[in-house]
């Protein structure tokens, strides 16, 4: 295992300010797109990783969203895939306690009364990540991706059961009248 600064394995670039995108018909990457990508609604991954600055979460963009214009609410990540498996990074960023501790430490470093409203490139570049061998990264990253897909499917199933139950209740309720 090796410890790296994120700047050593990832190049970060902030999305464009939406008001500066000249093409008014441009298809912008939205919070909903991010949620769908994170929850694995559109299963075909690209190699593009994205960080949501408002939610402090990362995901891999899917084919359906990869061509959209990324706005300033997001940071695009170009990952050195020889050193870091993208889904392993997404797992570490979203779930690892050490990442959360680094966020908290950065917030405290801004001084009394100041607060870090959201992530920024400078903070991300200085964060550290422990990187195991590639085989472990692939196993962990793929397990995380499958867990996200499973969570989404279970939530959909719960909604369907709820809808079905409500239909039965309405039928019973209407028969009594």
What is the per-residue pLDDT across 60-104, written as a single tens digit (0 to 9) for each?
A: 988 888 888 888 899 999 999 999 999 999 999 999 988 888 877
Write down the pTM of the prediction.
0.81
What burial letters (b/e) apply to 75-107, b meaning 16+ CB within 10 Å? bbbebeeeebbbbbbbbbbbeeeebeebbeebe
Burial class (CB in 10 A: 0-12, 13-18, 19+), 142: middle
- What is the reported pLDDT for 109? 62
- What is the reported pLDDT for 120? 86
What is the rounded average pLDDT of the residues 8-14?
A: 94
Calculate the alpha carbon distances from 33 to 28, 69, 155 in Å. Answer: 9, 11, 18
CA 102 to chain centre: 18
Annotation: CATH topology of 2-175: Adenine-n6-DNA-methyltransferase TaqI; Chain A, domain 2 (3.90.220)
């Amino acid at each position: 295992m090796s410890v790296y600064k994120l700047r050593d394995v990832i190049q970060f670039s902030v999305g464009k300010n939406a008001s500066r995108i000249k093409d008014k018909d441009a298809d912008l990457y939205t919070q909903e797109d991010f949620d769908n990508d994170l929850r694995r609604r559109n299963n075909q991954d690209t190699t593009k990783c994205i960080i949501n600055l408002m939610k402090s979460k990362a995901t891999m963009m899917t084919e359906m969203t990869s061509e959209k214009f990324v706005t300033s609410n997001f940071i695009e990540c170009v990952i050195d895939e020889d050193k870091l498996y993208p889904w392993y990074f997404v797992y570490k960023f979203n779930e690892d306690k050490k990442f959360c501790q680094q966020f908290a430490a950065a917030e405290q470093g801004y001084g009394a009364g100041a607060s870090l409203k959201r992530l920024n490139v400078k903070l991300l570049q200085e964060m550290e990540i422990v990187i195991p061998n590639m085989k472990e990264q692939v196993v962990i990253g793929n397990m995380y991706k499958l867990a996200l897909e499973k969570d989404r499917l279970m939530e959909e199933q719960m909604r369907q059961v709820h809808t079905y139950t409500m239909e039965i209740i309405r039928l019973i309720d209407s028969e009594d009248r």
